[in-house]
Amino acid sequence: MIFLPTRIYFGAGALVEAGDQLAQLGSRALIVCGKSSAHESGVMAELLPLLDKKEIKHSVYAGISENPSTDQVIRGKEQYIAESCDFIIGIGGGSPLDAAKAISLASANDLREDQLYDASLRQKAYPIVAIPTTHGTGSEVTQYSVLTDLSAKKKAGFGSDLIFPKIAIIDPRYTTSLNPKVSLNTSIDALSHLLEGIYSTQRNPLLYPMIFRGIKLIMDYLSLCLKEPEHLPAREALALASMYGGIAIAHTSTTLQHSIGYPFTTEFGVPHGLANGMFMEPIMRFYAPMLKDELAALFGFLDCSMQDFWDWLDEFPIKVKVPADDAVLNSWIPQILSARNTAISPVQPSERELLAILKTAQGDRT
């Protein structure tokens, strides 16, 4: 089964094309974004006049950081209610989009910070519009929100069909201001999603054509994008691949590939996409014996071998080392093994096997 309740507008001018649909969602929007990306990307310059034209009032909550925290969600909820908003527009990478989804739920169900992960309390949500300014998370077409609980030093996600965005506006022009580092990290995140659409025990062969093409688009255009940041066809290809990755994990969810990276982000500040990339090779090698047919089909489509794929990936600086000793790595193992993502991986690693994978990112303290 394929289920995607999000209306998608893709390409240059997508925002204007979606204008009439925006007007049907409500009369006062809370715009959720980070401090700068909504302006630097050019979204605000086009969005605000459109809202005025459609007589949609707005309030801006620009308090979202990378890896949004649960307390930021509650502050957004408080502003949403105080300003009498009736729908949400999330602008940015995965962090603002995920935060917008959580704010929608928190506002609609009057949730406290300690109730955000309680599925029994999610009865309704306010409409969400997602406008991505990166090509990585695919959050504009998923039902997931990933948050960080700073008090517990834990990054974890939840899913609810209630928070599928009503509208996704994907204009590749909004990604041309990304610097090479962010372009790389978000593209690697999209690559992770696409691969995990194959890895997951909830994999769906109906999605394979989309997944395979998405991976090929990244392989064909990532280097060009990093060399020429304003190359619009390259940005369009990567935005499409990211959307495909989002559609894939909306049906399959993520796997160990994601849960293994979360503590590196929380403890060492490794960007999310890069944290996925650090383990892309050892995890595929670990899964490969269980996924012979799926990987053979993928590499047949790509017309390359698994080793060719790794040789291509080695062109990019994603094999980061962090100063985590064995005691630190071992302390993360229970959290990783108990994660929802890990449970739907094609094979469950033992503690010894997981430690061996973690140690591939181990570096010396300096």
pLDDT tens-digit readout, 175-225: 999 999 999 999 999 999 999 999 999 999 999 999 999 999 999 999 999
- Give the three-class secondary structure for 307: helix
- How far apart are the C-alpha atoms of 130 and 93, rounded to whole Å? 10
Question: Which among 126, 127, 128, 145 is positioned nearest to 137, based on CA atoms?
Answer: 145
How many CB atoms neighbour CB 107 within 10 A? 24
Q: Does residue 275 contact residue 189 with C-beta atoms inside 8 Å?
A: no
Q: Which structure tokens are listed for 80?
A: 């949403």
Task: Give me the pLDDT at residue 287, please.
Answer: 95
Q: How far is CA 111 from the centre of its chain?
A: 23
Number of Cα atoms under 13 Å in the Cβ half of residue 343: 4
Burial of 321 (0-12, 13-18, 19+ CB in 10 A): exposed
Amino acid, single-letter form, for residue 315: E
So where are the chain's domains? Answer: 7-174, 178-361
Measured in residues, the chain has a length of 366
How many CB atoms neighbour CB 285 within 10 A? 12
pLDDT tens-digit series, residues 55-78:
999 999 998 988 899 999 999 999
Number of Cα atoms under 13 Å in the Cβ half of residue 35: 2
pLDDT tens-digit series, residues 94-106:
899 999 999 999 9
| CATH entry 1.20.1090.10 includes domain 178-361 | yes
DSSP assignment, residue 288? G
DSSP assignment, residue 349? P
- Give the three-class secondary structure for 90: strand
Which residues is 7 bridged to in the sheet?
167
In terms of C-beta distances under 8 Å and separation of at least 24 residues, what long-range contacts does 75-81 make, across chains too?
A: 76/30, 76/32, 76/100, 76/102, 76/103, 76/106, 77/103, 77/106, 77/107, 77/111, 79/30, 80/30, 80/107, 80/126, 81/107
Confidence of residue 364 (pLDDT cuts 50, 70, 90): low
| CATH entry 3.40.50.1970 includes domain 7-174 | yes
Check whether 279 has a pLDDT greater than 80.
Answer: yes
Q: Does residue 328 contact residue 196 with C-beta atoms inside 8 Å?
A: no
Single pTM value for the model: 0.94
Question: Which among 122, 193, 126, 131 is positioned nearest to 160, based on CA atoms?
Answer: 122
pLDDT tens-digit series, residues 313-361:
999 999 888 888 899 999 999 999 999 889 999 999 999 999 999 999 8
Check whether 49 has a pLDDT greater than 60.
Answer: yes
Task: Give me the pLDDT at residue 366, please.
Answer: 37
Confidence of residue 155 (pLDDT cuts 50, 70, 90): confident
